Amino acid sequence: MSDTTSIVTIDGPGGAGKGTISRMIAERFGWHLLDSGALYRLTALAALRKGVATDDPAGLAEQARDLDVVFAVDDGRATILLEGDDVTREIRREEVGGAASRVAALPVVREALLQRQRDFRKPPGLVADGRDMGTVVFPDAPLKIYLTASAEERAKRRQRQLHEAGENARLSTLLEEIKARDARDMQRAVAPLKPAIDAVELDTTQLDIPEVVKRIETLIVERELT
């Protein structure tokens, strides 16, 4: 790729703060946002709406290639639009999640979504949030961030989120789930979770969100990406 559009990739394990920080950076600079983790759910939802079976790789790949999706950010919150329809809540439905897991297992869909992700790279800039943005999707990005935090801290953050949503969860259970997911992500054969060789690694265990955002903003200015 030789596109000169400014781009910042923000990768890392779940619970490191990628989503919140990506939204804030995108809004701060007026750039586009890519929530790569939502794309499989969006592909699944598009297929469900159009009657495409989850065992139809060609049909699912077509949905992935043609996804009409926008990640709109306002006051640090993202609204996900599919063909102009707000599906922010709908993509979290259990039915959609189950379909998404089947969709994500299909290599032809992953390949179709690779190009769809790259299509988000438009002026004035892009913040791409995911697990392989800097290593696979945008390997030429001028600024790659790898956010991490201890598994214990990420479990505590997840527990707080659940409590705020009125749900109870044992910290020990959440910690086990996070460690298991980390292992799966890091050991998978395709696009394993790891920092890009030239990534700036930020450990957010002892940092709050404004501190992390400020550090990334400084890097963007220093590298003259604005």
Give the tens place of pLDDT for each residue, 29-78.
Answer: 999 999 998 998 999 999 999 999 988 999 999 999 999 999 999 887 88
- Between 1 and 199, whose confidence is greater? 199
H helices within 30-128, ranges in order? 39-50, 57-65, 94-104, 107-118
- Mean pLDDT of the chain, nearest integer: 91
Pairing status of strand 6-11 against strand 200-203: unpaired
Which DSSP helix (H) or strand (E) runs through 148?
A: strand 143-148
Give the tens place of pLDDT for each residue, 106-150.
Answer: 889 989 999 999 999 999 999 999 989 999 999 999 999 999 999
Report the DSSP beta bridge partners of residue 82: 69, 85
At the fourth CATH level, which superfamily is domain 6-222? P-loop containing nucleotide triphosphate hydrolases (3.40.50.300)
In this predicted structure, what is the pLDDT of residue 98? 82
Query: Please, which residues have CB within 8 angstroms of residue 49's CB and are 6 or more apart in sequence?
Result: none
pLDDT exceeds cutoff 80 at 3: no
Q: Rounded CA gap, 184 and 178, in Å?
A: 10
Q: Based on the number of CB atoms within 10 Å of its own CB, is 143 exposed (0-12), middle (13-18) or buried (19 or more)? A: buried
With a pLDDT cut of 90, the percent of the chain lying above it is 72
Domain ranges within the chain, ordered by starting residue: 6-222
Cα–Cα distance list, 136 to 26, 57, 60, 104, 132 (Å): 21, 22, 21, 16, 5
In this predicted structure, what is the pLDDT of residue 190? 73
In this predicted structure, what is the pLDDT of residue 184? 82
Arithmetic mean of pLDDT, 177-204: 89
Q: Rounded CA gap, 67 and 83, in Å?
A: 8
In this predicted structure, what is the pLDDT of residue 1? 45
